Amino acid sequence: MTEKLEITGEVLSDEATLKAYSFDMSHYAVKPQMVAVPANEDDIAKLIAFAKQESIPITPRGAGSNQSGSAVGSGIIVLFSKMNATVKKDGRKVQVQAGVIHQALDLYLAADGLRIPYDPTSRSFCTIGGNVATKASGLRSLKYGTVDSALRSLRFFDAAHGLIDTSGCLPQNVEEAVLELKKRLISDKEAIGILNVRGNLKSSSGYNLCSLIQHEEPSEIVTHLLAGSVGTLGVFSEIELEAVPIPESRKLYIVFFHSLQEAAEEVGKLVNFKPSAIELMDAYGVDLLKATNKVKVSPDCKAVLFVEFDSDLDQASIQMASYLKGKSIKFSVENNPKKQDELWKIRESMLLWIMNSLETPQKRFPPFADDIAVPLGQLPNFVAAVQQILASFGTIAVIYGHAGEGNLHIRPMINIENWEESLRNLSSLIFNAALKAGGTITAEHGLGRNRSLYLLNEWGEKIYRYFMEVKKIFDPVGILNPGVVFTSDDLTRNLKL
């Protein structure tokens, strides 16, 4: 079949390549029919035309760092390693191809004293296209928001209209469809009520319907509607972001607690001091911190918060220090930028540490409930609920994440001998606990095979139907990453050991 597809880039179908791209960083394995590496936008157009002609699914893939199972597919995997150039820079705005690595772009911008405002811990290898596809955020999204906050325009190919450039005029039928959907949505009091209630919750679950409310221009609506669409609405070719100035200085508090519960209780109060980040690590993270000898850790410490400020440093220092007395075991303050970076690298290494140091052939810490977020006021109750669930299963979990936004990465330990049953049961209990607290099944990693089955439970039938209408506008034939947003598949299908 590959002989029918000719592009400037590469089309690969050898067994070694297909096997290599059957996997991403999730716990799923799906063998593709071919792997395509476009060199330009003409290649992307040809790939989508071919996929439509042959009725083959097409799955865009950045670095494969996705942990939700949305970067693997049974048809054509599209890699962007040849489309990794910076197109142009104008002031704080920068336009790049989808395959640009986040850290490479940050280094490029640093020469002008700028940085990308959101900063995922996978920045050294994740791509900008993947960031937009999952609505990524990171350590400092408490202050700077997700990639959606920095997103200004997109060039992408959908399965119905070809190239769409949101920096200019949209195809007329796209504009008409989007405005008609906006009109119906804003007149739907029930739907608006649901979106308003959940409007302040950090989420990358479903399509970004809030863009229909927040923006008037169709081009802006479409730009933000595609943030978090995990390759199911379009294949990105170029992305325009707005950078922010690099802070002149930062102050980092390392705050120690007797328990995870105590730390969770304080997060909602610490947010009031307007920090740029509040990051949580549980007892496993504390052990990792101890092992590095970068800071003196109290022997009875079982949880730690990293609280960072990058503005109003003196005032924040006085207020924070005054408040924290008696609220924690102790705290320390780090002002040295080099030492701050060393401490942040410990927090950033949590995922790789789990994979390399804790996992064994018989015990895994899979990322199926790794991206829950709940309203901040519900965080202590949710932490307590998760601990009860884990205890009832006789297991433990590594818990860490962006606590200042109620966003936790939960990695329960599961024995391989009852792998599928444990995944199914634990996911149901943890997801339902999050939904009961008014939370979301995914905050920054996007939907995928590990949680899309719960999308309807989270949003209800009315909003779910709006999601399906959005899909029909851009992909009426259903070839763009099917089974990743809308699915009836059990989350254990295509599970790899």
pLDDT 10s digits, 439-461: 999 999 999 999 999 999 999 99
Write down the pTM of the prediction.
0.96
* The token pair that represents 137 in the structure block: 């955020």
User: Who contacts 35 (Cβ-Cβ below 8 Å, separation ≥6)?
Assistant: 11, 12, 13, 17, 18, 21, 76, 77, 79
Short-list 39, 34, 35, CA closest to 8: 39
Percent of the chain past pLDDT 90, that is, above it, reads 85
Contact 302, 235 (CB under 8 A): no
Instruction: Give CA angle at 112 (106, 116), nearest 5°.
Output: 30
Whether 3 has a pLDDT exceeding 70, the answer reads no
* pLDDT bracket for residue 2 (50, 70, 90): low
How far is 250 from 340, CA to CA, in rounded Å?
8
Fold match flag (90-245 vs 355-474): no
pLDDT score of 401: 96
pLDDT digits (tens, 9 = 90+) for 254-278: 999 999 999 999 999 999 999 999 9
- What one-letter code names the amino acid at 49? A
Class of domain 355-474 as given by CATH = alpha beta
Q: Where do the structural domains in the chain lie, given as residue ranges?
A: 2-79, 90-245, 251-276+286-346, 355-474
| Residue-wise pLDDT tens digits, 162-174 | 999 999 999 999 9
- Average pLDDT, rounded, for the chain: 94
How large is the average pLDDT for residues 383-403?
96
Cβ-based neighbours of 248, under 8 Å, separated by 6 or more: none
- pLDDT at position 394: 94
**Cβ neighbours for 211, distance < 8 A, ≥ 6 positions apart:** 220, 221, 222, 223, 224, 225, 227
In tens, the pLDDT along 110-136 reads 999 999 999 999 999 999 999 999 999
pLDDT at 214: 95
Q: Is the pLDDT of residue 8 over 90?
A: yes
Report H helices in 325-368.
Answer: 337-348, 350-353
Question: What residues contact 180, with CB distance under 8 A and at least 6 apart?
Answer: none
- The string of pLDDT tens digits covering residues 170-229 is 999 999 999 999 999 999 999 999 999 998 899 999 999 999 999 999 999 999 999 999
Q: How many CB atoms lie within 10 A of CB 90?
A: 8
Mean pLDDT of 233-241: 98
DSSP 495: B
CATH tag, 2-79: 3.30.43.10
Angle ∠(157,163,164) on CA atoms, nearest 5? 95
- Stretch 324-332: mean pLDDT: 83
Structural tokens at position 76: 């054509």
* pLDDT classification of 477: cutoffs 50, 70, 90: very high
Tokens of 69: 């199972």
pLDDT value at residue 418: 85
Query: How wide is the angle at C-alpha 175 spanned by C-alphas 238 and 166, nearest 5°?
Result: 20
pLDDT tens digits for range 339-350: 999 999 999 988
Contact 119, 138 (CB under 8 A): yes
pLDDT at 191: 97
The CATH architecture one would assign to domain 90-245 is: 2-Layer Sandwich (3.30)
Task: Name the nearest CA neighbour of 444 among 28, 154, 77, 119.
Answer: 119
290 versus 176: which is more confidently predicted? 176
Q: pLDDT confidence of 388, banded at 50, 70, 90?
A: very high
pLDDT at 147 (0 to 100): 97
- Residue 1 has a pLDDT of 62
Q: Cβ atoms within 10 A of the Cβ of 124, count?
A: 14
